[in-house]
Each structure stands twice: as C-alpha cells, then as structure tokens.
Structure 1
C-alpha cells in the first residue's frame, strides 16, 4: 500500500510543487494567517481545482482557523484532503471480474490524450493480474496508431489483432471479438480512432464499431472509457461531455498527471460528469497506470504522507 501511495505522490509532484511554491511552503509547518489563505486560494485555482472545490476547502479551513487561531498549515492540508475525499465519494471505478467472455472495453479519446499507449498499459496490467487479454487496433485512421500499438504489443507480450492503416475499423473490431471468443479471452480492449475528418465522422465511426460488436454480443462494449489528458485541466470537461452525449461513457482514465501542475482538474471532471475514474496515468512506464484511489490522490496533492 505504501509503494502505491508513493507512486501517487511521485506522479503528482508537479502539482504538489506548484501549490507549495504559491503558498510558500504553507503545508510544511507554517501557521495559517489571512495572507496564507489568499495564497492557498490562488494555488488551488492554478492547480485547476475549480471554484466549487476551492471554495469548499477554504471555507472549512477558515472555520477551523476561527476556532483555533494557532492552526498549522499541516492541519489545513489534512482538512483539504478530507474535503477532496468527500467531494470524490463514488469516484473510484472498480473493475469486476468479467461476466461475459470476452468483456469488451472500448477506449475512446482524442488524438494526443495517450489513448493508444494507455490501451497497451491496461492490457499489460490485466495480463500481470493473471487475466487473458486481446487488443484490437481499431485506430486505423491515424497512420502511426497501428504501428504504435504493434510496438507496445511486441514489447509487452500482448495479443493483438490488427490490419493496415486505412482498414475498416469495425471489421477489425469484429475479427478481434471472434479471436477473443475462440481463445477464451477474458477481455477485449478496443483502441478506437481519436480523429476523423469531422466530429460527426468520428462519432459515426464509434457508433459503427459498437453496432458491429453487438452482432456478436448485444451487450458489447460493456465498458466505454474516455481517456483524457490531465494536463488539459478543466478544458477536458467539455471534451468529456461531447463523448458522453454521443457514446454513453461508463468510465474515465486520466493520463499525464505526472507532467502537469494542474492535477486538480480530475476533481472538476468528476463533479461535472459523475463518471467513475478507473485509472490514472502517473508516468511513462507500463506500471505507471494505476487504479484511481481517492485516499491516495487526496493526500498526495496536499503533500501529506
């Protein structure tokens, strides 16, 4: 458990450092005062926690400060973490054992979100947990996507069904489902396109993949996860809304949190959409894709142990 928390803390270093810099190390042991509360407010906005969450955190700290004027920064950090845990209640996505074989996860997201890489990392994690996985390379529109996934599959020993760039993505998905069924695979992870000529083209393509999968299994894809780039901050909320309206998202994966100081955006995304967060990306290595933990996240962003 400690090593998992360390991954969260290390992965959110830039967010923690940015908050510490703006608050002049408030959580390291300084006492709370009016100036430090102003600094904290600015730091939380900069980290993209949003108006609602920032207001809730500050109000609770101010209440505690009025009751105890000797309140320390460390105590304020504990209050902030407790508020985040309350706001994020219900945000942890729990992946149950597959009821049907294969159970399909459609990976959705715009180019640049880390979708293809995350697909490979997720398959790697499932394989490491003793489950059988097949990946379908259905981002056939982007020239590098199929080759990128092939490279990851070779490196990590992942079973892959792929065709050439420009192939019919729905046909690849159909073949992959058939392969997964014949091999008794637990999971089929479908990497979908992140861009086509227009947004409507993209949504039509996703709908086509869904229809074709449902010819094999009416309930597929059982999971429809949006991969969002955490460094985009609150801008990712609008992106998530569009995909949710078109495809009925069942989960989120937030990537690239190690490369941004805007790690608070994850809270705003959940507050707006109430879609569970299954995994977060905390680094570039395969094992840096970690199940989302409310407790670990809430304590890590405030620099707590």
Structure 2
C-alpha cells in the first residue's frame, strides 16, 4: 500500500516538472521589441476671458467729453434722410437728341461734293461736242461715254439723236451754247415733271406708312435711319419698325439712328416674324399720334418666292391699319447696271413707288438715275451723297444735272 502511494506521488512530481519546462520554453519565445507608445500631447483650451478682464493693455490717449462731441440738433435729427444715388446701379444717361440739318436746299449745298465725283460725264461730253468736226467717230465716242456712265442703251440712243439734230441746226457752237444745249437734253432725259415727293401723309387719322425695301448691303437700314432724320428736320414725329429680323445688327443699328433724333424703335426677337413687328410699329404709331411710321424690311434674295411671301405678308398686315403710302427701293449706285437686276425682282414682288440711290458720291456713273427710272417707271426721290448722318437729300433734277456738267 505504501509502495502504491509513493508511486503516485512520484508520477505527480514528474508531470509537474514537465509542465514547468513547457511553460518555461514558451516564455522564452518573446515578440520583437516594439517602440514604446508615445505620450499624447494635451492642448489646453485658451482661457476664456472673465467679466472685468481687459482686452489689451490700456493705452494712454486723449478722450473727448460728451460736451465736446458735435451732436445733431433736434430739427436736424427729425429731417428725412437724403438718398444717395449708387453710381453702379444708376440709370444710364439718355442719349443727347440731335437737331438734324434742314432739308431745304440740302442737295444744292452738297452740289460741290457731287460734282467732284460726277462731272467727268459732263466734261467728257462737252469736250467731244466742242470738236470742230463732229464725224461718226466722235459721235461713237459720245455714245460710249454715255454707256460707260450707265445711262442705258435706249436712253443713250435717244440723247445722241437729239444732240445730232440740235448741233446741226445750231451750226457754229460756242462753249456756253453747248453747255446750255447739253443741260436741256440731260434734264429732258432725267425728267423734270415727275412727282419726287416722298408721300408721308395718309390723309386719314393714321400715320403715313413708308416701307423701305432693298438688298442687304445697299445701305437700306442706314437709309431708313437717315430718312427719319430728314422727316424730323421737317418737323415730323417718327416711329421706326425694325422688321429686318434676319440680320443680327439691323435692329440695333436702326434703334441707334432713332435714339439720335428721339424716334422710338419697335423691335422683336432675332429671327422673329417681320409682319408682326410691322403691325406693332403701325399700332404704336397710331397710339402715339406719330406723323410717320418707317418700316425697315429684310433684304434677302435667296428665292423670289420667299421674298414675295415675306414682303407681301408685311404689306397685308400693315394695310389692316390703313393704306401703305410709300414703298421705297434702295439701290447702290456703284453697282450700275447690275443693280437693275435686283430692281426688277423687287418691282415684281411689291409695287415700288420711289427709288433711293445710295453711294452716288463715289462713282462717276450718274447715268444710273436715268436707267433705273426707265427700267422701273418710277422716279428717283432721294439720293445718298456720303457717310454723314445728313447726307441723304431729296433728288432735284436741276441741281443734279448742274453737278454732272459742272460750271
């Protein structure tokens, strides 16, 4: 029995020794040393000021007493405060209204400028007619001179035939006699008995309505603006209708012309309906009691059908208010005979009542006046003699022919 107990004790001691060795070996397998944990930095919040603490170190400075401070009087304190206008949001200054140059005798005053560029025609004819012997070659030269000046074939033949007859009857020819003869024949060719007044009176309670047509680039919108100046100079009140909605700058350009003489411009969105704007312009002209409404139209010539539809619609809606008193066709005098092709298209589309020739100061081809009147059967009523605002003048045949042949 004692032997059994002793064996158990020895077994327990052996098991304990083995367990200690295992534990001891595990403890020797330590992890690699790691960096010691950093100590966190604690930032204390700034101390809050307490009542009575000074914000900063007091400084010695002079102080004023209440008696030394200038306070408003009781009357000043109850006055209404004066408004101070903010220059940033202030309304822009209205453009200064210009006073256009009077139209009476305007072409006569501009005659010298016209003569400088036009009288090569007259001088050329006088030189040829002054030759001692007027043979066939000379008459051919006279004919070529007239054709070069864009007088046209039929009018040129008529003029040469009449000059031949009168020179033959005249016999001897002094320079003064030749000048008188040539002046009379040119006046007969231009026409002195045509009604060249721009019709701006409707004869009813509605304003006179003038529609301006022509190809873009001929000075159509500028001419409309200058015509407004002519009418204002004659004491008429004007409303402008910017119905050329397909050219981006047309409405802005027309409005600028109107603002310079105090004429209001009715306009719409770019690409809008021209007829609608024309209708509104006449409506506003009636409401304002204006004397004249000027309507600037689009000048596209892509297809004759499209142009006919557009101008025809403008004419129809305008006539809902009253009659259309004048349709002016603007032509560039420098295009010469080529401009007659444009003139024919517009004449087929709308009933033209008068012609405006622009840029007449920059060409020696004054014969276009004769040619375009013959082609359309309507008179030249206005001519543009330059870039100035007041360079649009009523057409006076006598002054024009005198400028052609010179003094």
Mark yes or no: TM-score above 0.5.
Answer: yes
Partner Cα separation in structure 2 for residue 147 and residue 97 of structure 1: 24
CA distance in 1, matches of 2:116, 2:404: 8
TM (norm. structure 2) is: 0.67
Aligned to 1:231, which of 334, 337, 350? Answer: 334
TM-score (ref. length: structure 1):
0.88
CA drift of 1:63 comes to: 2.8
Q: Answer whether contact 1:91 1:277 (CA < 8 A) is retained.
A: no
Residue pair 1:11, 1:258 contacting (<8 A) in 2 also: yes
Q: Secondary structure at the match of 2:218?
A: coil
Look up the match of 1:243: 346
Bigger share in helix = 1
- 2:151 pairs with 1:49: yes
**C-alpha distance in structure 2 between counterparts of 1:228 and 1:43, whole Å:** 22
C-alpha displacement of 1:156: 3.5
Q: CA deviation at 1:111?
A: 0.8
Report the more deviating stretch, 148-157 or 128-137. 148-157
Q: Give the Cα–Cα distance (whole angstroms) in 2 for the partners of residues 222 and 2 of structure 1.
A: 24
Structure with larger Rg:
2
1:204, distance to aligned residue in structure 2 (A): 1.1
The corresponding residue for 2:229 is: 124
Q: Which has the higher contact order (CA 8 A, sep 6+)?
A: 1
Pairing 1:189–2:290 present: no
Indicate if the aligned counterparts of 1:113 and 1:255 stay in contact, CA closer than 8 A: yes
Q: Measured at CA, do residues 140 and 186 of structure 1 come closer, stay the same or move farther in structure 2, by a change above 3 Å?
A: same
Tell whether 2:364 aligns with 1:261: yes
- Matched with 2:35 is none
Counterparts of 1:1-305 in structure 2 under 5 Å?
4-17=107-120, 20=123, 22=124, 26=127, 30-31=130-131, 33-34=133-134, 37-87=139-189, 88-96=191-199, 98=201, 99-100=203-204, 101-195=206-300, 197-217=302-322, 219=323, 221-304=324-407
Cα deviation for residue 78 of structure 1 reads 2.3
Alignment check: 8 A CA contact 1:92 1:293 kept: no
Shift in Å, 1:74: 4.2
| Structure 1 alignment gaps of length 5 or more | none
Residue 286 of structure 1 aligns to a residue whose secondary structure is coil
CA contact (8 A) 2:143 2:160 kept: yes
User: Aligned-residue CA RMSD in angstroms?
Assistant: 2.4
Structure 1, 266-275 or 183-192: larger mean CA deviation: 266-275
Separation (CA, whole Å) in 2 of partners of 1:120 and 1:72: 46
In 2 relative to 1, CA 170–250 (structure 1 residues): closer, same or farther, beyond 3 Å?
same
Structure 2: stretches of 5+ with no match in the other structure: 1-103
Give the Cα separation in 2 of the matches to 1:207 and 1:5.
37
1:119-164 deviation line (CA, Å, top 9, x unaligned): 0011111001001111101100011211221222233433211123
- How many residues get paired? 299
Tell me the distance in 2 between the aligned counterparts of 1:239 and 1:208: 20
Q: Match of 1:143, SS?
A: coil
Measure, in 2, the Cα distance between the counterparts of 1:204 and 1:297.
37
